[in-house]
């Protein structure tokens, strides 16, 4: 079995992916700019799994990645170094040149859908280049595909994510959201009116959690799903558990929309730190909802409601599942495992819901279907 190189391996998602791979018996190299942090994360993995094969590596990606790939010859690279909204594909291109499978946790709409521009090069190298190995579109597409056969036509999909206030969150995620707060978003299927980041508020009821405020977010599913599944209307939103924090971001969105010279991503670290001021009044429980409406093969109206509820701060485990499951498959065989073909692609339909359930069985996470 080959080993997996995790870029940003001591970050919010990187460390969970490293632990998840070690739990599956996959050898891991934890890489990042800070050698001490990389070694600390490796020690954490060793403490949890004494038999794990884990190494720490100081690697400045723009400067050192090509040399690191040559020296360590990983089977797979997992890139967790977000935010991806304004990145290029240099890391993926380096992996293609070295014939190393690549995947990332990007949820940037243009970034994930644009990964197909590397398709010809990836096929020629005989490797997989997978973007969006995260909750969206990885898990969201698995849910749609699970229910797809029950519908003759899916008319609408409304879905979103509502993390718990105390659940660990990364600076990169904060910066990614702030990059489009208040800005005009790209059009989506089924909506003619202009859409703006963190606007169009609504309340979404969650089982066990109660209602959560939601607001517009930009994800690749908005382009990918209407084309793949024939969905006529689609809406994705996210929300903060604390209403005051949620409405504070909504207020900032209006300042940006009105044209004030505010560059929110520049203040991401400060706003991320300030968000923790509200932790004492929040919980460690969050969730995701997927609401599908359409008609069944008999022509009757049909609705499916799917929720995943995470408690005890385990919500951040959910976005890590696609990378863990797919990396293990790719590292476990000299060729490509069943269901995967060479090329560059978004992470759509590459895992099924049972694989998610199995990967999350040890955490305080459960699925509710209605």
Query: Could you tell me the domains of the chain?
Result: 4-135+316-362 (3.40.50.720), 138-310 (3.30.360.10)
Q: Are 232 and 156 in contact (CB under 8 A)?
A: yes
Residue pair 301/295 in contact by the 8 Å Cβ criterion: yes
Alpha helices by DSSP H, 61-220: 61-72, 90-97, 109-113, 119-125, 140-148, 171-178
Quick one: pLDDT at residue 256? 97
* Other CB atoms within 10 A of residue 251 CB: 11
Residue 321 token pair: 């599942």
- pLDDT given at position 185: 96
Sheet containing 233-238: which strands, arranged edge to edge? 202-206, 210-216, 233-238, 153-162, 286-295, 301-310, 365-369
Q: How many CA atoms lie within 13 A of 147 on its CB side?
A: 25
Q: Determine the Cα angle at 44 with ends 129 and 55, to 5°.
A: 55
Q: Are 85 and 108 in contact (CB under 8 A)?
A: yes
Cα-flanking dihedrals φ and ψ of residue 277, to 5°?
Answer: -60, -25
Partner residues linked to 365 by β-bridges? 310
Q: Which two tokens stand for residue 176?
A: 């990614």
- pTM summary value: 0.95
Q: Within a 10 A sphere around the Cβ of 362, how many other Cβ atoms?
A: 11
- DSSP state letter for 150: T
Question: Encoding tokens for residue 182?
Answer: 């208040």
Q: Phi and psi (nearest 5°) for 249?
A: -65, -40
Those residues with Cβ within 8 angstroms of residue 280's Cβ, 6 or more apart along the chain or in another chain: none
**Cα 151 from Cα 292, distance rounded (Å):** 9
Taking the CA atoms of residue 360, residue 79, residue 98 and residue 18 in that order, the dihedral angle to the nearest 10 degrees is: -40
Residue labelled with tokens 């056969």: 149
d(CA 232, CA 363): 35
**Residue 288 in contact with residue 162, Cβ under 8 Å?**
yes
User: Tokens 């090509």 — which residue?
Assistant: 66
Q: Which residue has the tokens 């990645």?
A: 65
Instruction: Please report, for the chain, how many H helices and E strands are present, in that order.
Output: 13, 14
Please identify which residue in the block is written with the tokens 């992996």.
Answer: 95
Whether the CB-CB separation of 101 and 127 falls below 8 Å is answered with: yes
Per-residue pLDDT in tens (0 to 9) along the chain, 370 residues: 789 999 999 999 999 999 999 999 999 999 999 999 999 999 999 999 999 999 999 999 999 999 999 988 999 999 999 899 889 999 999 999 999 999 999 999 999 999 999 999 999 999 999 999 999 999 999 999 999 999 999 999 999 999 999 988 888 889 999 999 999 999 999 888 999 999 999 999 999 999 999 999 999 999 999 999 999 999 999 999 999 999 999 999 999 999 999 999 999 999 999 999 989 889 999 999 999 999 999 999 999 999 999 999 999 999 999 999 999 999 998 789 988 999 999 999 999 999 999 999 999 999 999 9
Q: Give the number of other CB atoms < 10 A from CB of residue 60.
A: 12
Omega into 9 within 30° of 0, i.e. cis? no
- The reported pLDDT for the residue numbered 280 is 86
Closest CA to 322 of 34, 70, 20: 20
CB 246 within 8 A of CB 215: yes
The C-alpha atoms of residue 39 and residue 122 are separated, in whole angstroms, by 32
- Report yes or no: 158 and 291 within 8 Å, Cβ to Cβ: yes
C-alpha 152/C-alpha 297 separation (Å) is 5
pLDDT of res. 314: 97
> Which are the contacts of 276, defined by CB distance < 8 A and separation ≥ 6?
none
């Amino acid at each position: 079995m080959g080993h997996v190189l995790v870029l940003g391996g001591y970050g919010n998602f990187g460390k969970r992916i490293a632990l998840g791979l070690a739990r599956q018996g996959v050898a891991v190299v934890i890489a990042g700019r800070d050698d001490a942090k990389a070694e600390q994360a490796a020690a954490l993995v060793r403490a949890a799994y004494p038999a794990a094969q884990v190494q720490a590596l100081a690697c400045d990606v723009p400067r050192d990645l090509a040399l690191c790939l040559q020296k360590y010859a990983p089977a797979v690279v997992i890139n967790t170094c977000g935010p991806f909204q304004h990145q290029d594909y240099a890391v993926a291109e380096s992996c293609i040149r070295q014939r190393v499978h690549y995947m990332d946790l990007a949820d940037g709409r243009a970034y994930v859908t644009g990964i197909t521009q590397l398709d010809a090069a990836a096929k020629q190298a005989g490797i997989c280049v997978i973007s969006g190995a995260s909750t969206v579109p990885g898990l969201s597409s698995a849910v749609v595909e699970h229910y797809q056969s029950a519908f003759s036509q899916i008319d609408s999909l409304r879905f979103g994510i509502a993390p718990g206030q105390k659940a660990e969150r990364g600076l990169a995620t904060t910066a990614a959201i702030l990059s489009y707060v208040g800005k005009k978003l790209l059009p989506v299927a089924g909506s003619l009116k202009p859409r703006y980041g963190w606007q169009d508020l609504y309340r979404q009821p969650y089982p066990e959690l109660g209602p959560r405020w939601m607001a517009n977010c930009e994800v690749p599913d908005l382009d990918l799903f209407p084309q793949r599944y024939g969905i006529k209307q689609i809406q994705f939103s996210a929300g903060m558990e604390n209403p005051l924090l949620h409405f504070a971001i909504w207020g900032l969105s209006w300042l940006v929309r009105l044209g004030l010279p505010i560059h929110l991503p520049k203040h991401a670290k400060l706003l991320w730190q300030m968000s923790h001021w509200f932790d004492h009044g929040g919980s460690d429980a969050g969730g995701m909802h997927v609401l599908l409406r359409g008609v069944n093969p008999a022509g009757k109206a049909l609705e499916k409601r799917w929720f995943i509820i995470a408690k005890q701060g385990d919500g951040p485990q959910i976005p890590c599942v696609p990378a863990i499951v797919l990396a293990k498959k790719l590292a476990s065989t000299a060729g490509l495992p069943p269901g995967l073909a060479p090329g560059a692609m978004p992470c759509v339909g590459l895992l099924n819901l049972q694989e998610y359930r199995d990967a999350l069985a040890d955490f305080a996470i459960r699925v509710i279907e209605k």
